[in-house]
Structure 1
Amino acid sequence: MRISLARSKIRWRVIALAIAALTVAGAATVVARTTTAEAAAPAPIGVEDEGASCPVSLPGSLTSNAKLPDPFKKLDGTRISTQSEWTCRREEIEQLAEKYVYGTKPAKPASVTGTVSRTGITVNVSDNGRSASFSASVSLPSGTGPFPAVVVFAGLGADTSTIQGAGVAVINYNPLSVGAEGTPRTNKQGAFYTLYGSSSSTGLLMAWAWGVSRIIDVIQQSGGSILKADALGVTGCSRYGKGAFVTGAFDERIALTMPIESGSGGAPIFRGIPGESGSQPLSSAYSEQPWLGDAFSSFTGNPNTLPVDTHEMVAMVAPRGLFMMENPHIDWLAAKSGSVAALGGAEVYKALGAGDNISYWSDIQDGTHCAVRPEWKTPLQQNLQKFLLRTGNAAGVIRVSSLKSGNLADWRDWTTPTLTGGTPTSAPPTSAPPTSAPPTSAPPTSAPPTSAPPTSAPPTSAPPTSAPPASCTASMVAGTVWGDRYNTAVNVTGSSNWVVTVTITAPQKISSTWNISASWDSSGNVMTARPNGNGNSFGFTTMFNGNTGARPRVSCRVG
C-alpha cells in the first residue's frame, strides 16, 4: 500500500518573525510563528519498508566530504524533484545506513507468531531452521480499548504516566533479550543472534529495532481488539534512545518516534561529534557496547568518509511524527550535533509538506540524565494526541537551547528543493522560553542507562614532540556512580611514552574503555593501558558485580 505524501489544503501563513536575544535558563531563542489551515497527522503505512522493491546500487568507493550529505541527491548524482521520488531515495539512505553504520536489518522471518493479551505480548520467530522467542509486558490505560500504544525501551523513555494518562497503552520492551550487552562482537547473544548467528555484523541497535518490528507483526496479526496496529509509537532514553531512534527510522509502521538524550551513536551527526567539546568520542560509542554495526569501525577516526549521516536517519522518519528530546547540560551527550541532525532532517520534512510533524526540544532546566521534565509534558501530550489518538493537530516546535545550539548552515552545501506533488512548508515554529523557571522533577526510579559521561572530558591534543621525561604520573578522577557501575577518568603527566597499570578488586570488572589501547592479565583484574594517539587522558567503566568496595588503583611507568 502506498500513501501519497502530498498534503492537500495545507496553507501556511507567516504571522511574525522576531529575533530576540533572550537569556532565560540559558536559552537564546529565535521566535517564528506560523499557522496552518490543516495540520492533521499522516496515517502510518501498513508495511515495514515501503521502498523495499526500489532498485538500489550502492557506490563501489567512498569519498571524503566534511559537509553533511545531500538528502535529496540520489546515488546516480541527480536530485529528486517530486515527493513521490522520496520513497526510493529513502531506500537508498536506508541501505547506506545498514551497510556502513548499523548492519543489515533482515526482512520479516519466514514465521512470526505470538499472542497479545491485556498484560503482555509473546513473540515466536523462526527462519532457516532456527527459532527464538521473547516477550514484552503491556500496561493498559483505563477504558475498554482498543488502544494506541508506545513501546518503551526497558521502561526508560518518555514519561509513562503522561502516556497512560492520555489514554495510550505502554508496551515495556526489554531489548537485551533480543540483543544482549556485555558480549564481544564475535559472540553476540539474544533472540536476534540466535536466528542470524552470534558473529553477525549487525549491531545491537538494529537488532533491538528488529525486535520491535516483530512485536508489531504480532500486533498486526492479533485482530486489533486490544492494541491498534496503526497507532504505535516508540521511545527510549540514553542507549535506549539510540535504539528508539533507529527503530523509528527503519519501520514505517511506527507513527511516532521519541528518542531522548541518545548521544553519540544516536541522533547527533557523526561529523559533528569529533569537534564538539566533551562529547563521547565515536571510538568510545563503538567500543562501549556492540551497539553499532561492525563496519562502522572504519569511520570512528574519520566520519567524513561516511556516505550517510544521522540527519538522513531523521529524514527517514518523515513524514511520520518525530519528537526528539535532548539534554544540553551534559557535554557527553553531544546535543549540539543532535540539534544539527534535527535541523537537517527537518528540511526533508518541509520539502515533503510535513514540516509540522517534527519537534525538537533541548531547552530544559534540569540537567539530570533521563529525568522526567515538565518542559516536555505538553509537547508529549500534543504528539500523542496528534499521531496516536488523532484528536489533535498541534504543529511541531523546534526549541534549541543556546547552551548547545548547532548551525545547519555550517554543515551543508546543498539547498532544499521545492518538490512537486505537494506544498512545501516552513520549518516548525520555535517558541520563546518560559518567563519563569519551571519546577524540576525527580529522575525515574528505574535503573539508569550505561551510556553516561565521565565527569571530565579527555583532551584531544597530540603528545609532545620533544624528548619525553624519564617518568610519568597517573591520577584518577572519579566519575558518575550508578546502581551497577561507575566511570573513571585517568590523566597522565610526564612522559608521552607511558604505560598505566589499572588494578581492580574482584569481582568488579572493567566493561568498556576509551582513548587507550588496553590489555588484561589472565585474571582479568589488571589492565595495562597504553596511548593510542588520542592524548594523555583515558577513561573506563567498571561494573560493581556485587562488590561496591575499593576503587581501582593506578600506577604509571615509562614504556
Structure 2
Amino acid sequence: MIGAAGSYGRSRTRGARRALVVGAVAALSLGLAATEIPRADATTATLVAAAAAGVEDEGADCPVPDLGSPASNSRLPDPFEKINGQRVTSKSEWRCRREEIKKLAERYVYGEKPGKPASVTGTVSRTGITVNVSANGRSAGFSAPVDLPSGSGPFPAVIVYGGFGADTATIKASGAAVISYDPFTVGKEGTARNNKQGAFYGIYGSSSSTGLLAAWAWGVSRIIDVIEQSGGSILKADATGVTGCSRYGKGAFTAGVFDQRIALTMPIESGSAGVPILRGVAQESGAQPLSSAYSEQPWLGDAFGSFTGNPSRLPVDTHEMVGMIAPRGLFIMENPHVDWLGAQSGSVAALAGAEVYKALGAGDNISYWSDVQDGTHCATRSEWRTPLQQNIQKFLVKSGNAAGVFRISSRKSGNLSQWRDWTTPVLTDNSPSPSPSPSPSPSPSGSPGTSPSPSPSPSPFPSPSPSGGVTGACSATMRVVNSWSGGWQGEVTVRAGTSPINGWTANWTWPGGQTVTQVWGGVRSGSGSAVTVRNEAWNGSVAAGGSTTFGFIAGGSSATPAITCTSP
C-alpha cells in the first residue's frame, strides 16, 4: 500500500521525521494552466473578519431541518441548495446553509465534533502549550511544543499535525510560529472502533461514533481556546493556521472545515478521506478505495461504513467541505505522481468548492497546486514555497494581498463539468426575499464514467460581462485567462438576451492557425480553423440577461476572435 492512508504512510513516518526529501526546481510542463484568481469584491474583508471573530461555529444557532434519508445522486450535490429544496440567494444565507452542510458531514462522514467543553484551561509559553479539558464529569489533557520565529511577537501560528511533511522552515521564515501537534494524544490510531483511545475519547467515551479526524479537529479547537485565553502576548488569537501531510493532511483539512477561527487551512497530499471527492475516489483508477480508508484506521465516523460501496448515496461530498472553509484562506497541495492519493478527485473538489468562494466574493482566497515534479510522498517542495509564503503573509501575518492560484497537473486534472448539474448563483449582499427561487434542474448528460476524463485547470471564477447589450437570442465573448510558450487558456462567456434561452451554440474562426486541444463546460465540434461549441446538458438553460461560461486550452498564439451565438 502507498500514500496518504496506506501502510506506506505509516512506515515512512519515523524516517520522514528525520529527513524530508526536498523537491527539485523544474520547468513546468507545457500545457499546464496557471490561473491567477481575480481579486475579490469589497465584501470579502467583511466575510473573513466575521469568520475569524473568535467563533468556532458561527451558525450554531441556525435551525436545521430534519436531514431526511439519503437519495442516490451520481453527481456532486448542489452546495447552494438547502435541505428544504430552496436555493441560497444572498450571502447572508450562507451562514445557515453552511450549518446544514456541517450537520450532514457530521452525520454521514466524520461523526459529531462537539463544541467547546464546560471547562478548557491551559498555558501558553514561548516553548509550549498545555491544554486541560473537563466535561461530562471527566477530564483529559495534552500538550504541544511551540517554536517561535525571530522577533519579539506576538506571532501568528501554524498548527502542524504530526511533525512531518510541512515546510516548517518556510513557515517560520514567513513570520509564523510552529505548534507541533501530536494528534495521537487526542485520538490514537491502531484502536478498534468500539475501543477508541486518547484525550477526546477519555471525555466522550471509547465507543463514540466520532472518527479520529473529527476528534483531532476537536483537539485543534481546544488549542485555539487556550491561545484565546492567554492574552495574546506570545501568540495571536486571531491568526491561526493548520497544516499536515498524508493522514495529517486529512486531519488539517477537517480542522479547517469545522473551526471558523482557523484563518488558513493547508492540507498536503491528503488522499482518500481528505480533500478528494468521495464519489470520484470510488471511480478513480489506483486511488485508495473508500473501504480501505474506512477500515485502515477509524479516521472517518462509524456511520460512513454504510457508504463505502456506494458513495452516490451520500447527501454531501468534500467539495461542500471546501465550501465550508470559505471565505477563509485555503491552500490545497496535492501530489499527482502517486495514484493512491486520488489527486484527480482532489482537483474536482477544489474546482467545485471554489464555486462557493466565487459566490461569496472571495475567489482569491483559495489556491490549489498539484503541478510538482518530485513524486516523493510528503516531500518539501520548492514549487509550493512561494505560494506558502504568500498565504501566510496574507491570512496570518496580514501584510500581503496575493491572489490565489490554481495550478493543476495534466497528470491528474479532473473535469468539473462531468460531476455537476448545478450552476453557481450570483448572491446578493442583502437578506433573502421571502420566496427564494428553487434550484434549477437541468437534465444530466449521463453519469460520470469510470474516471472523469482529464481536463486542464478550468478557471472557476467569473469572467467579465460583454460590453454592450445583447441584440439577438444570445451573445458570446472570449477572453485570454493565461498563456505560455506554445499555448494558452481561454474562456468564453455566453449571455442570454431579453428572453431566456434553452440551449446555445457558439461559433468562431481562428485567425492564425490556433487549435483547440481541450474544452470543459461545452461540447466541441468542427474541424480546422472553424470551431463550434454547444452547451452541456446542465448549462444550456440561461435566464434572461444571465450568463454561463465554458473554457478551453488552445495551441498557438493567443487570440480573441469575434464569436456568433445562436439559440434554437
Q: Does residue 227 of structure 1 match 2:263?
A: no
SS in 1 for 2:279: coil
Q: Does residue 426 of structure 1 match 2:462?
A: yes
The partner residue of 2:173 within 157, 165, 168 is: 165
- Report the counterpart of residue 81 of structure 2 in structure 1: 73
Q: CA deviation at 1:57?
A: 1.8
The partner residue of 2:322 within 285, 297, 314 is: 314
Q: Tell me, in whole angstroms, the C-alpha distance in 2 between the residues paired with 1:28 and 1:45.
A: 42
Check the 8 A contact 2:36/2:405 in 1, yes or no: no
The partner residue of 1:95 within 89, 103, 124 is: 103
Which runs of structure 2 are paired with 1:81-480 in the superposition (5 Å)? 81-421=89-429, 426=462
Equivalences, count: 412
Letter in 1 for 2:279: R
Q: CA deviation at 1:61?
A: 1.3
Q: Tell me, in whole angstroms, the C-alpha distance in 2 between the residues paired with 1:100 and 1:383.
A: 31
Check the 8 A contact 1:26/1:403 in 2, yes or no: no
Check the 8 A contact 2:30/2:485 in 1, yes or no: no
TM-score (norm 1): 0.71
Q: Tell me, in whole angstroms, the C-alpha distance in 1 between the residues paired with 2:304 and 2:184.
A: 21
Q: Tell me, in whole angstroms, the C-alpha distance in 2 between the residues paired with 1:105 and 1:301.
A: 25
Q: CA deviation at 1:128?
A: 1.3
Check the 8 A contact 1:141/1:169 in 2, yes or no: yes
Check the 8 A contact 1:397/1:430 in 2, yes or no: no
- Report the counterpart of residue 451 of structure 2 in structure 1: none
Q: Tell me, in whole angstroms, the C-alpha distance in 2 between the residues paired with 1:304 and 1:32.
A: 31
Letter in 2 for 1:259: P
CA gap of 1:434–1:262, structure 2 versus 1, over 3 A, is farther
SS in 1 for 2:336: coil
Check the 8 A contact 1:152/1:234 in 2, yes or no: yes
Q: CA deviation at 1:28?
A: 2.9
- C-alpha RMSD of matched pairs (Å): 2.1
Q: Tell me, in whole angstroms, the C-alpha distance in 1 between the residues paired with 2:67 and 2:39.
A: 41
Q: Tell me, in whole angstroms, the C-alpha distance in 2 between the residues paired with 1:402 and 1:229.
A: 39
Q: CA deviation at 1:59?
A: 2.5
Unaligned runs of 5+ in 1: 1-22, 436-559
Check the 8 A contact 2:359/2:427 in 1, yes or no: yes
Q: Tell me, in whole angstroms, the C-alpha distance in 1 between the residues paired with 2:93 and 2:186.
A: 34
CA gap of 1:37–1:209, structure 2 versus 1, over 3 A, is closer
Letter in 2 for 1:28: G
- Report the counterpart of residue 534 of structure 1 in structure 2: none
Q: CA deviation at 1:432?
A: 6.5
Q: Tell me, in whole angstroms, the C-alpha distance in 1 between the residues paired with 2:40 and 2:206.
A: 52
Q: CA deviation at 1:158?
A: 2.9
Over the matched positions of the two proteins, sequence identity in percent amounts to 72
Q: Tell me, in whole angstroms, the C-alpha distance in 2 between the residues paired with 1:406 and 1:354.
A: 22
Letter in 1 for 2:367: S
Q: CA deviation at 1:182?
A: 0.4
Check the 8 A contact 1:273/1:334 in 2, yes or no: yes
Q: Hey, which bits of structure 1, 4+ residues long, moved more than 6 A?
A: 37-40, 429-435
Q: Tell me, in whole angstroms, the C-alpha distance in 2 between the residues paired with 1:202 and 1:433.
A: 47
SS in 2 for 1:150: strand
Which runs of structure 2 are paired with 1:38-53 in the superposition (5 Å)? 42-43=48-49, 44-53=52-61
Letter in 2 for 1:426: P
The partner residue of 1:28 within 12, 26, 31 is: 31
Q: CA deviation at 1:287?
A: 0.3
Q: Tell me, in whole angstroms, the C-alpha distance in 1 between the residues paired with 2:483 and 2:269.
A: 22
Unaligned runs of 5+ in 2: 1-25, 431-459, 464-479, 487-568
Which runs of structure 2 are paired with 1:511-550 in the superposition (5 Å)? none
SS in 2 for 1:271: helix
Which structure exhibits the higher relative contact order, with contacts defined as CA atoms closer than 8 Å and separated by 6 or more residues?
2
CA gap of 1:430–1:236, structure 2 versus 1, over 3 A, is farther
Q: CA deviation at 1:91?
A: 0.1
